[in-house]
């Protein structure tokens, strides 16, 4: 046997599992798995192929190991993460930077040698007494220009089971590529577990991105965002690959918007974590194609888009029968669903804001829970975590777009950026052109931190294009790539800025949660050139008379002019203050930020000041029409 890694694998694996690895002619694969075995020392290794029996066995292992428990509805299970392991851990996530290489200082990083020694030290022997799963999955549709092979080794069968719901099987795909097959490698261990099967060494949680060799390490954590290798761990590697190859990997949903005469218009949208991607992608009556990660490629002069994933790891808080009928249905009927960090009572799941009565006790992320229970700091523990989630395959949704597996992707007509901006941006506006929208709505995105990451909630921050947590290339380069991408098309997608979180002087949201559907319908008409818009200093805003019928048709409500004025008034001081913060951020943190950013910010400031001289600090959209 020429390959020493295969020899090692042969000595450690039973024959059936060994044969599955040996059948793939790829030395790097054998090296990766052999290294994982030697480092983590599992008692057994289970290699899953694309076979349905393997998927069934993975799910059964998660139950047998008590990483998941069955719920009443057939196919439903629950998994709990540790009380302090309920979101992505930004502080513990670092890039391993090889000597001589540099990354923007806004990115968390450590020297490669030092980081490798640390994380590999933490992984040493972690799988003793356990089984390691070897998983083959693909990002993007199979057999397509978008496909990226991934291999994850993990000792968590909850993680392994979740991967089956969220991604496409990729064993045959990698086998087909053979010796030429490149793949992203992810090694995860939940580390030491307590008797509830929960990772206990939270101070030793590490998520290290070894981008120079397309590999990620994750240890002492179970929360999906820190452990599902194909989600945000691989996204960091994908962004580098996209940068090298001239395409874009984005933190965006993909939606097929239904229009006149049966036409379908595809839109994408970037919102920071817990800021509205899933909620927008699931709008009733439209077609969902993706809710978290999208790839864009220029193919034959057209902007083609595909979903990196094929499932949803979605926030369950505030999912109600009334506002979210499609997912509500999936969460109540038989079929595979993994609930995480919800409340369970009598094998039934409950969550915050579900619009119905909830029990006073049960099991949740803190263990046995009762109303009034407090945590170590004396604060009351809610019945479920705000970041409690569900994992389901997209095809379980009645309105899943039929193009999900189309290897060519779909043609994109519009994209949007939005965050939690309480003060400045209007609910919906269109950029004057591609570059203007990319800079003013994407590269200027200011938002508030949310429960999706560990740490304080509600802290304002700049989050470039809603993707800053995952950027693995210099920030300025990333912005320039986005600007350049639009120039590849004769007709670039329209770029919109939205804000679902604008508040009035009393701190109340000025929009209802369903209003976003109207903005989407307005954008659809803009794409087809069927409505006019008003030129405001920050972009093109909708006319009242165009929104009235859209509110009527989409939501069955009467849209009042006073509401329109309140929502679309241009708040000059707030916008100027925001521009100041954005510019200071770019100057200080975004090395190499494109000149176009500074020019666009300056031009916007000038337009705001001129409008202010004419109309005052708060400009009614009705005044701009004149
Ligand atoms: P990740 O999965 O973390 O990337 O987040 P996401 O962008 O998919 O977030 P999601 O759509 O699940 O929204 C998260 C939160 O925003 C939920 O708690 C929603 O209730 C809230 N939300 C969504 N839309 C609106 C809205 O229009 N108004 C308000 N006030 N809240 C909203
Ligand atoms: C996010 O935090 O943006 C998510 C959930 O979509 S996860 O990345 O899995 O934590
Ligand atoms: Mn996300």
Of 626, 502, 616, 485, residue with least CA distance to 563: 502
Residue with the two structure tokens 């950029």: 431
Rounded to whole angstroms, the Cα distance separating 137 from 151 reads 6
Is 40 assigned a catalytic role? no
531-550, pLDDT tens digit by residue? 999 999 999 999 999 999 99
Nearest CA to ligand 2 atom 8: 225
Of 296, 290, 309, 300, residue with least CA distance to 228: 309
The pLDDT-based confidence of 1 (bands split at 50, 70, 90) is low
The answer to whether residues 575 and 424 touch, using CB atoms and an 8 Å cutoff, is yes
Percent of the chain whose predicted confidence (pLDDT) is above 70: 100
Q: What is the 356 CA–ligand 1 centroid distance (Å)?
A: 19
The pLDDT-based confidence of 103 (bands split at 50, 70, 90) is confident
Nearest CA to ligand 2 atom 7: 225
Ligand 1 shell residues, CB under 6 Å = 271, 273-279, 291-292, 314-315, 317-318, 452, 500-501, 509, 513, 516
C-beta of 225 in contact with ligand 2 (< 6 A): yes
Average pLDDT in the 223-251 region? 98
Listing DSSP states for 441-452 in one string gives: IITT-EEE--TT
C-beta of 315 in contact with ligand 2 (< 6 A): no
47-75, pLDDT tens digit by residue? 999 999 999 999 999 999 999 999 999 99
Rounded to whole angstroms, the Cα distance separating 257 from 29 reads 41
Q: Which pLDDT score, from 0 to 100, does residue 626 have?
A: 66
238-261, pLDDT tens digit by residue? 999 999 999 999 999 999 999 999
| Residue 324 φ/ψ, nearest 5 degrees | -130, 60
The answer to whether residues 251 and 399 touch, using CB atoms and an 8 Å cutoff, is no
495-521, pLDDT tens digit by residue? 999 999 999 999 999 999 999 999 999
Q: What is the 428 CA–ligand 1 centroid distance (Å)?
A: 16
Q: Which pLDDT score, from 0 to 100, does residue 106 have?
A: 84
Q: What is the 279 CA–ligand 1 centroid distance (Å)?
A: 6
372-422, pLDDT tens digit by residue? 999 999 999 999 999 999 999 999 999 999 999 999 999 999 999 999 999
Please identify, by atom number, the ligand 2 atom nearest to the C-alpha of residue 224.
9
CA 574 to each of CA 423, 490, 597, 617: distance values in angstroms, whole numbers, following the listed order: 6, 35, 19, 9
Rounded to whole angstroms, the Cα distance separating 501 from 271 reads 12
Residue 546 CB neighbours (<10 A): 18
Nearest CA to ligand 1 atom 23: 276
- From 252, 276, 418, mutation site for ligand 1 pocket: most ligand atoms within 8 A of C-beta: 276
Contacts of 393 (CB under 8 A, 6+ apart): 165, 166, 310, 311, 336
Please identify, by atom number, the ligand 2 atom nearest to the C-alpha of residue 273.
3
Average pLDDT in the 272-285 region? 96
């Amino acid at each position: 046997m020429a390959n020493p890694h295969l020899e090692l694998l042969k000595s450690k694996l039973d024959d059936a599992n060994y044969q599955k690895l040996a059948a793939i002619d790829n030395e790097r694969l054998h090296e990766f798995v052999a290294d994982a075995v030697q480092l983590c020392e599992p008692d057994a290794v289970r290699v899953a192929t694309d076979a349905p029996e393997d998927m069934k066995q993975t799910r059964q292992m998660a139950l047998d190991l008590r990483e998941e428990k069955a719920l009443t509805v057939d196919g439903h299970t629950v998994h709990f993460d540790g009380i302090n392991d309920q979101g992505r851990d930004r502080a513990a996530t670092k890039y391993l930077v090889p000597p001589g290489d540099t990354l923007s200082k806004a990115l968390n990083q450590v020297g490669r040698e030092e980081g490798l020694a640390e994380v590999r030290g933490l992984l040493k022997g972690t799988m003793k007494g356990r089984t390691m799963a070897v998983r083959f999955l693909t990002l993007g549709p199979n057999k397509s220009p978008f496909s990226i092979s991934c291999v994850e080794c993990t000792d968590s069968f909850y993680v392994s089971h979740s991967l089956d719901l969220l991604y496409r099987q990729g064993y045959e795909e990698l086998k087909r590529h053979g010796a030429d097959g490149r793949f992203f490698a992810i090694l995860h261990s939940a580390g030491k577990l307590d008797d509830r099967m929960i990772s206990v060494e939270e101070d030793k949680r590490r998520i290290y991105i070894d981008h120079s060799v397309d590999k990620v390490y994750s240890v002492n954590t179970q929360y999906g965002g820190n452990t599902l290798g194909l989600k945000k761990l691989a996204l960091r590697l994908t962004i580098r690959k996209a940068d090298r190859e001239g395409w874009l990997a984005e933190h965006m949903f993909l939606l097929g918007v239904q229009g006149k005469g049966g036409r379908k218009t595809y839109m994408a949208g970037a919102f920071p974590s817990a800021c509205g991607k899933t909620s927008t992608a699931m709008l009733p009556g439209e077609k969902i194609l993706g809710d978290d990660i999208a790839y864009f490629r220029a193919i034959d002069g057209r902007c083609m888009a595909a979903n990196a994933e094929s499932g949803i790891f979605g926030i369950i808080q505030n999912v109600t029968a009334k506002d979210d009928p499609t997912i509500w249905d999936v969460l109540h009927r038989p079929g595979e669903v993994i609930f995480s960090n919800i409340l369970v009572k009598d094998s039934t799941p409950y969550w915050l804001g579900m619009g119905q009565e909830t029990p006073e006790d049960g099991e949740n992320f803190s263990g046995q829970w009762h109303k009034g229970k407090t945590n170590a700091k004396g604060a009351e523990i809610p019945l479920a975590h705000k970041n409690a989630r569900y994992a389901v395959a997209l095809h379980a949704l009645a309105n899943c777009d039929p193009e999900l597996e189309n290897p060519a992707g779909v043609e994109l007509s519009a994209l949007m950026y939005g965050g939690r901006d309480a003060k400045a941006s209007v609910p919906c506006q269109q950029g004057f052109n591609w570059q203007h929208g990319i800079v003013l709505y994407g590269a200027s995105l200011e938002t508030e931190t949310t429960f999706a990451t560990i740490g304080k909630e509600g802290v304002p921050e700049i989050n470039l294009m809603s993707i800053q947590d995952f950027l693995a290339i210099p920030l300025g380069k990333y912005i320039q790539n986005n600007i350049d991408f639009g120039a590849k098309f004769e007709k670039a997608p329209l770029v919109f800025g939205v804000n679902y979180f604008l508040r009035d002087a009393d701190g109340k949201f000025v929009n209802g949660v369903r209003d976003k559907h109207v903005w989407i319908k307005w954008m659809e008409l803009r794409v087809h050139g069927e409505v006019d818009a008003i030129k405001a200093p920050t972009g093109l805003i909708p006319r009242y008379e165009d929104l009235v019928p859209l509110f009527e048709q989409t939501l069955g409500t009467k849209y009042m002019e006073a509401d329109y004025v309140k929502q679309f008034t241009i708040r000059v001081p707030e916008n100027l203050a925001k521009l100041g913060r954005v510019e200071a951020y770019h100057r200080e943190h975004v090395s190499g930020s494109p000149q176009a950013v500074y020019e666009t910010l300056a031009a916007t400031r000038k337009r705001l000041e001129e409008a202010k001289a004419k109309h005052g600090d708060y400009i009614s959209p009705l005044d701009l029409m004149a």
